[in-house]
């Protein structure tokens, strides 16, 4: 248990002092997974053998003094990132037996650095959902309360870190899919600036919104993991060519005089009282650190959810057209002719939420409706981004709730897609604007459930965001993780 409680950077220290080997760390985590996985169900596929081999390679690298910041420290990877010859299901029946013939760039980076991959984590099907309940493989559970969802879509990755099944995990965030589960499971989750991290080998949901990012137990570990993830990749044409800073350098800076924006209406109606109180506490904490709190306006945020669900579904309907039973994935036995085969392959391979979103997106792009829906949403997107441009003329970062409520119970929202979509009400704006945002733990409810707050920064403002988050973490403290009585 002592080893499990260490942060990634604490493990780095132990590895460098040769007090522990990567193999011992990986073996400890594999034992923990064996013990708690029946309760939490974070993983779809475990890769124990590969992880142990990678650990041995990492131990060699450490011996030869070729170790990077995270060499030898294991990680869990969301199941929508391609792993060479290891099942990558995307939470769908469609890709039940899919073994990618290549690694995603982020996975290749992990391998090169000697970061052992423990397994592939559960997710809402094709990342469409906020609870993991749409996964074909069944839901993951929130380690803080097994009757509640861990959030989604990257719920398996969040649950794995919160259940101490992994010190680090990768998620992807299209409208909040890293930040919302991080908030619901009491950990840190970062959605980087669009284009900072390569999307090559990430199975596309909405290409103009998707970004890969870290899940960690604290802010410093996120900075370390972002260092590893971030980089220009010629294989991703939306990869930003800018030089990447060392995010570790951002930690520990004085934030006196930092201008923290709080949107007028972000603490109003529809927000859980305890969530609102926690955000207010974070505002006070920033003020006591010498930051200046500035009221800002984001007048078009109220249109963000409606905009997001048109842009995301339109892009998804196009991206998911590739699943036709020809080159990979499920194929129907209904083979009267090709179109029949396509239609039945897709009917059998996709679950209800994926079908709904393909239908909505196809409708929004179809002749006669394109202008009223898709084009209108793209214009609203411009206005949402302009709001942020104006706000960041006055402030350095923006503070808001991550989610309107804490972790909800299974079945509470799954039958009403609109209620589920509302989980994303604070998170979609950052994806639409392409700017970085993160969630970090800031308190617990009286029932002991984690509450997160969100920090949003301008494009490529990860350093100031992480520096503010690090200071806030010091001020509000940490809240521990559930032991699950093992």
Partner 1 sequence: MSIIDKKTVEHVANLARLYLTDAEKEDMTEILNKILDFEQKLAGLNTDGVKPMAHAVPLENVMRDDTVEESLSVREAFLNAPCEAEGFFKVPRIVEKD
Residue closer to partner 1, measured from CB, 355 or 474:
355
Whether residue 50 contacts residue 97, with contact meaning beta carbons closer than 8 Å, is answered with no
Active site residue 413: no
Phi then psi dihedrals of residue 340, to 5 deg: -60, -45
Q: Which of 42, 135, 177, 222 is catalytic?
A: 177
End-to-end CA separation in angstroms for the chain: 9
**Binding flag, residue 470, partner 1 (CB under 8 A):** no
CA distances from 158 to 13, 82, 106, 126 (A): 24, 19, 18, 17
Q: Which of 153, 172, 230, 439 is catalytic?
A: 153
Binding residues for partner 1, rule CB under 8 A, total: 70
What three-state secondary structure class fits 461?
coil
CA distances from 274 to 142, 220, 267, 281, 346 (A): 19, 27, 11, 10, 43
Listed ranges 256-264, 321-329, 443-451, 470-478: which one lies at the site for partner 1 (CB under 8 A): 321-329
Residue closer to partner 1, measured from CB, 89 or 140:
89
Q: Which of 435, 428, 439 is nearest to 391 (CA)?
A: 435
**Binding flag, residue 330, partner 1 (CB under 8 A):** yes
Pick from 167, 417, 450, 482: which binds partner 1 (CB under 8 A)? 417
Eight-class DSSP state of 193: P
Provide CB contacts within 8 A for 361, sequence distance 6+. 310, 312, 313, 314, 315, 316, 317, 318
Q: Least distance (Å) from partner 1 to the CB of residue 83?
A: 13
Contact pattern for partner 1 over residues 177 through 216, marking x by CB under 8 A: -----------------xx------------x--------
Q: Which of 6, 41, 78, 191 is catalytic?
A: 78
Q: Least distance (Å) from partner 1 to the CB of residue 143?
A: 32
**Binding flag, residue 218, partner 1 (CB under 8 A):** no
Active site residue 78: yes
CA–CA dist 395, 406 (Å, integer): 28
- Is the CA virtual torsion 364, 367, 371, 375 positive or negative? positive
- Within residues 121-160, the interface with partner 1 by CB under 8 A covers none
Which residues are catalytic, by number? 78, 153, 177
Interface residues toward partner 1, by CB under 8 A: 97-102, 194-195, 208, 234, 237-238, 240, 300, 302-303, 306-307, 309-310, 317, 321, 324-331, 335-344, 346-347, 350, 355-356, 358-360, 362-363, 366, 372-373, 375-383, 385, 417-418, 432-435, 459
């Amino acid at each position: 248990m002592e080893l499990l409680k260490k942060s990634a950077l604490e493990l780095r220290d132990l590895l460098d002092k040769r007090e522990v080997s990567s193999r011992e760390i990986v073996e400890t985590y594999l034992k923990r997974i064996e013990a708690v996985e029946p309760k939490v169900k974070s993983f779809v596929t475990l890769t124990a053998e590969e992880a142990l081999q990678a650990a041995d390679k990492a131990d060699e690298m450490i011996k030869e003094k070729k170790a990077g910041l995270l060499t030898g420290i294991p990680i869990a990877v969301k199941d929508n990132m391609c792993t060479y010859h290891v099942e990558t299901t995307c939470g769908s029946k469609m890709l039940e037996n899919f073994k990618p013939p290549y690694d995603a760039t982020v996975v290749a980076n992990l391998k090169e650095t000697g970061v052992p991959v423990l397994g592939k984590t559960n997710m809402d099907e094709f990342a469409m959902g906020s609870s993991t309940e749409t996964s074909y493989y069944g839901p993951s559970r929130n380690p803080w309360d097994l009757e509640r969802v861990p959030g989604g879509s990257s719920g398996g990755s969040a649950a794995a870190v919160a259940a101490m099944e992994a010190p680090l995990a990768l998620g992807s965030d299209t409208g909040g899919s890293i930040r919302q589960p991080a908030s619901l499971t009491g950990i840190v989750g970062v959605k980087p600036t669009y284009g900072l991290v390569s999307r090559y080998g990430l199975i596309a949901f909405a290409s103009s919104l998707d970004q890969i990012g870290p899940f960690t137990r604290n802010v410093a570990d996120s900075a370390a993991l972002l260092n590893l993830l971030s980089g220009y990749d010629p294989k991703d044409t939306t990869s930003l060519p800018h030089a990447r800073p060392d995010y570790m350098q951002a930690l520990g800076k004085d934030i006196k005089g930092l201008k923290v924006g709080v949107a007028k209406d972000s603490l109003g109606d529809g927000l859980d009282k305890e969530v609102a109180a926690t955000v207010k506490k974070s505002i006070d904490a920033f003020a006591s650190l010498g930051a200046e709190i500035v009221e800002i306006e984001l007048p078009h945020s109220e249109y963000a959810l409606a905009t997001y669900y048109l842009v995301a579904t339109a892009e998804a309907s196009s991206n998911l057209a590739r699943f036709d039973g020809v080159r990979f994935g499920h194929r129907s036995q209904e083979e009267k002719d090709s179109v029949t085969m396509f239609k039945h392959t897709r009917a059998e391979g996709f679950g209800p939420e994926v079908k709904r979103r393909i239908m909505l997106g196809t409708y929004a792009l179809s002749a006669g409706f394109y202008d009223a829906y898709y084009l209108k949403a793209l214009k609203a997107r411009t206005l949402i981004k302009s709001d942020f441009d104006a706000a960041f003329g006055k402030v350095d970062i923006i503070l808001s709730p991550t989610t309107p409520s804490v972790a909800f119970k299974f079945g509470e929202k799954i039958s009403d897609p609109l209620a589920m979509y509302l989980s994303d009400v604070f998170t979609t704006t950052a994806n639409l604007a392409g700017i970085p945002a993160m969630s970090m733990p800031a308190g617990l409810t009286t029932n002991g459930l984690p509450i997160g707050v969100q920090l949003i920064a301008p494009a490529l403002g990860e350093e100031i965001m992480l520096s503010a988050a690090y200071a806030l973490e010091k001020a509000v403290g940490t809240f521990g993780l559930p032991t699950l009585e093992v």
